[in-house]
Chain A
Amino acid sequence: MSKFFTSSIGQKFFMSITGLFLMLFLLVHLTVNSLLLFGDGELFNRAANFMGSNPLMKVIEPVLALGFILHIVYASYITLKNMLARPQKYKVTNNTKVSWASKNMYILGGLILTFLVIHLINFFWKIKFGTITAISYDGGKTELHDVYDLVSGLFKGWWWYDAIYILGAIFLFLHLTHGFWSAFQTIGWDNDKWISRLKTIAYIYAIIVAGGFAFIPIFFLLKYVV
């Protein structure tokens, strides 16, 4: 068991588990975000404030951060080790037909990380450490952070942020098309029947998640700008 953590399959196991955890998080995140599309923002504000103040979330937040950190640290370590496994490169680059995403997961991951930093500065940082305008509901009885205003303000005010968020979703889409089924393959939950099913589900999942996230800036552009 002690060797498990240092073995190649053991390290991949952590990539897989953290990846599955992050994919679950994406679904929760998208569900809350989808409330942006309905009404004048009250629904989203209530959901966002509930997520922000819920004691359970105080526990889950560091776990989520740890999930990201482990996924990134293991990916970096594995990628570096894998590069060292071929000290002398080929003159002719490999022509074997495989999916582009599968060969560029680390690069895609790096691009998603860059997006994540921008995303955290845009919202998380401002909500946690900045000042957010308040909005009252129920005739002044409930006072909440106007997170809807923060989100809609960003997407209607700066078009390049819309572009960045759509681009981020495209990178995420590519990363997920490989990551989803690959996670199941690594934990051994795969066979000759399930491999094609999982690859199909991977595309469906990636389209829903990435398409959903990309739709939000497009929605605000259509609502306010066009």
Chain B
Amino acid sequence: MKIKLNIWKQENPKAKGKFVKYELDGVAEEMSFLEMLDSLNEKLIKEHQEPVAFEHDCREGICGSCGLYINGRPHGPGDEIGTCQLHMRAFREGDSITIEPWRAKGFPVIKDLIVDRNAFDKIMAAGGFISIDMGQAADANAILVSKEAADKAFDAAACIGCGACVAACKNSSAMLFVAAKVSQFALLPQGKIEAKRRALNMIAKMDELGFGSCTNTGACEAECPKGISIDYIAMLNREYLCASFSETE
């Protein structure tokens, strides 16, 4: 099939950037969205034009690097998929597809469709870790964890940090990301030691980096490729409020 593409092109973080129109023929419906972009780039290189820069790595929905805002939805049409899991069968002959990078103050554009998601690493560094004893490996299952807590923590840990929650949110809020990261530790005994400081510090970092606040629209949950629920945001709110009212520092 033949499709029309309207892609954001921006030379560098400081450049102004603009939309560039491309037409691409010979798109097979079994192609993944990223393979379609690969074939566009091959065509552009053959024509001695600058290829479109986009981020990708594992191409199997676990690395979280391929976030693109496609026709008004992070990771495009379809639920609980990354852009790499989106296939061209979701589109029809002659469709026009607008591709934009994530737009958020916390995610500045590096080039074309690639944004700097370092802000997420900074939030993690502010508290997304646990304390463990160095030395010999501890006996497995020495600390008992209930099945319910383990399941819930595991669901939160499914977050791949792609940033679709921020991209979908009208406030560019990173609450679902922070909620998943705070909850996955807060639910487990190993994470209890720093629980209070973790919630306080990660939220402080999120605010500092220019992400908005949560107004509970639920857009993040709807677009999360891992289907992480906004229940975790309620849990984060609970963790944060309890920590604020009890922390003496």
What is A's interface to B at a CB cutoff of 8 Å?
Answer: 1, 3-4, 7-13, 78, 81-82, 84-99, 102-103, 105, 178, 181-182, 185-192, 195
Contact = CB atoms under 8 A, between A and B. Distances in A.
Contacts of B241: 9, 13, 187-188
Contacts of B240: 7, 9, 188
Given A4-B244, A92-B100, A186-B216, A191 B231 contact: yes
B24 interface: no
Nearest to B238: A188
Nearest to A97: B222
A91 B244 contact: no
Given A4-B244, A96-B219, A9 B103 contact: no
A82 B213 contact: yes
Contacts of B231: 190-192, 195
Interface residues of B, number: 52
A95 B213 contact: no
Contacts of A181: 216
Interface stretch (B35-43, B51-59, B198-206): B198-206
B215 A98 contact: no
6 contacts: A9-B213, A13-B241, A81-B212, A85-B211, A185-B234, A195-B230
Interface of B: 6, 8, 19, 69, 71-74, 98, 100, 103-106, 168, 170-173, 200, 203-204, 206-207, 210-219, 222-223, 229-231, 233-242, 244-245, 247
Which are the 9 A-B pairs with shortest beta-carbon distances? A188-B238, A85-B212, A8-B213, A82-B171, A95-B72, A190-B234, A82-B212, A85-B172, A92-B72
B104 A85 contact: yes
A219 B74 CA distance: 48
Given A3-B204, A96-B168, A8 B212 contact: yes
A130 to B, nearest CB: 39
B213 A96 contact: no
Contacts of A97: 222
Nearest to A106: B215
Nearest to B73: A95
A187 to B, nearest CB: 7
Nearest to B231: A192
B168 A10 contact: no
Contact of A8 (B104, B206, B239, B247): B206
Contacts of B98: 91-92
A177 to B, nearest CB: 12
Contact of B170 (A7, A82, A185): A82
Contacts of B235: 188, 191
Contact of A82 (B172, B200, B218, B219): B172
A92 B241 CA distance: 36
A8 B216 contact: no
Contacts of B104: 85-86
Given A3-B200, A10-B244, A191-B235, 4 more contacts: A9-B203, A82-B172, A86-B171, A94-B72
A78 B217 contact: no
Contacts of B236: 9, 188
B207 A185 contact: no
The interface centre, meaning the residue of A85, A95, A191 with most chain B CB atoms within 10 A of its CB, is A85
Contacts of A84: 105, 210, 212
A53 B100 CA distance: 61
B222 A98 contact: yes
Contact of A98 (B212, B217, B229): B217
Contacts of B223: 96
B222 A8 contact: no
A191 to B, nearest CB: 5
